[in-house]
Amino acid sequence: MSVKTMNTAQVQSLLKKVAGMDKEGGDERFKHIVHRVVRDLYQAIEDFDVTPEEFWSAVYYINDLGKNGEAALLAPGLGFDHYLDIRMDAEDEQAGLTGGTPRTIEGPLYVAGAPLSEGFARMDDGTVEGETMIFTGVVTDEQGQPIEDAIVDIWHADVKGRYSYFDPSQSDYNLRRRIKTGADGRYTVRSYLPSGYGCPPDGSTQLLLDNLGRHGQRPAHIHFFVTKPGFRHLTSQINVAGDKYTYDDFAFATKDELVVEAKTVSASPNPWDIEGDYKKLEFNITLLNAPNETAQERHARVRALEADAA
Ligand code: MBD
Ligand code: FE
């Protein structure tokens, strides 16, 4: 069976009514977006001759996705987060805003309000296993001058690839810290080298990826926001070099400039009283001047504990 009904007056009129276009009220932009999205889905049903069975399995898939709380995990898996970055990068280029540390996706696992310290923080609660890591760098402006009082808000997974808050077995704010830079612009954290993240194997995201013949793995990575009044907010992350998934991230976050080697250091004594070998990751961050006040802030989205955080 392969019928074509999209171009009939009946379907076109249905679409207009669905999107409230024959009524006053509601939001015009929203009506147009809903009209377009529903039309494109109808069109896909027509073009691929989608059966009722297939359609209803998709509807109940969305129910399960919501029940699992995975909508914001499927989004990066389908490249939406990276696509929004591609658009912001293109906008910057069009406006002549080049240079600075590249942005890349935030992901769904940030928690607002991590403990704040000056210059240095130890990020783990003492119970974490793995390889000790020092992650450090200098925050500078476009001229290479250190930026004082920049806030570097860092979060990363443990050796099992799990994040505190979302993994209730970890203590509050484990592996989450905010560092305020001093006059030298430097941030330094002592923590444990994270492992890559894997989507829940029995979850809705992995189910969809399985049907695409894709994995749901991210390389080992460390997220950060960097802010300072007068400079553009930066949302980014580094990916650890040499991970099986460094250049094969299910969330498409890797950028060449953001791949950092974890060097093995066996320097003793060291300023952090680490005994034995540790990994050192060095990453300098360049902030661009903010063209306006909104550019100084992260864009709004639902974030854990955001409303409570000062
Ligand atoms: C992560 O840790 C992450 O950073 C993203 C983007 C998606 C899932 C888990
Ligand atoms: Fe992550």
Reported as a single tens digit per residue, the pLDDT across 86-122 is 999 999 999 998 999 999 999 999 999 999 999 999 9
24: in domain? yes
The closest residue, in CA terms, to atom 2 on ligand 1 is: 197
pLDDT score of 309: 59
> Does residue 73 have its Cβ closer than 6 Å to ligand 1?
yes
292: in domain? yes
- Whether residues 195 and 305 share a domain: the answer is yes
> Does residue 199 have its Cβ closer than 6 Å to ligand 1?
no
- Whether residues 227 and 271 share a domain: the answer is yes
The closest residue, in CA terms, to atom 6 on ligand 1 is: 107
Closest-lying ligand to the alpha carbon of 249? 1
- Whether residues 46 and 102 share a domain: the answer is no
pLDDT score of 196: 97
Rounded Cα distance, 101 and 114, in Å:
23
pLDDT score of 1: 65
- Whether residues 150 and 261 share a domain: the answer is yes
Low-confidence ranges of the chain (pLDDT < 50): none
Contact (Cβ atoms closer than 8 angstroms) between residue 184 and residue 176: no
- Whether residues 264 and 231 share a domain: the answer is yes
- Whether residues 42 and 163 share a domain: the answer is no
59: in domain? no
pLDDT in tens, 188-234: 999 999 999 999 999 999 999 999 999 999 999 999 999 999 999 99
299: in domain? yes
Range of the domain at 230: 74-309
> Does residue 251 have its Cβ closer than 6 Å to ligand 1?
yes
What pTM value is reported for the model? Answer: 0.96
pLDDT score of 268: 81
> Does residue 107 have its Cβ closer than 6 Å to ligand 1?
yes
Q: Which residues surround ligand 2, an ion (CB under 5 A)?
A: 107
Quote the tokens at residue 189.
């954290």
- Whether residues 91 and 13 share a domain: the answer is no
Beta-bridge partner residues of 289: 231
- Whether residues 269 and 133 share a domain: the answer is yes
- Whether residues 295 and 212 share a domain: the answer is yes
64: in domain? no
**Residue 274 CB partners (closer than 8 Å, separation 6+):** 132, 134, 190, 268
62: in domain? no
Number of domains in the chain: 2
CATH of the domain at 88: 2.60.130.10
Rounded Cα distance, 98 and 298, in Å:
19
**Three-state secondary structure call for residue 281:** strand
pLDDT score of 99: 95
35: in domain? yes
- Whether residues 303 and 234 share a domain: the answer is yes
Question: Tokens 């898996």 appear where?
Answer: 77
Rounded Cα distance, 236 and 190, in Å:
19
Q: Which of 70, 73, 222 to mutate to test the pocket of ligand 1 (most atoms within 8 A of CB)?
A: 73
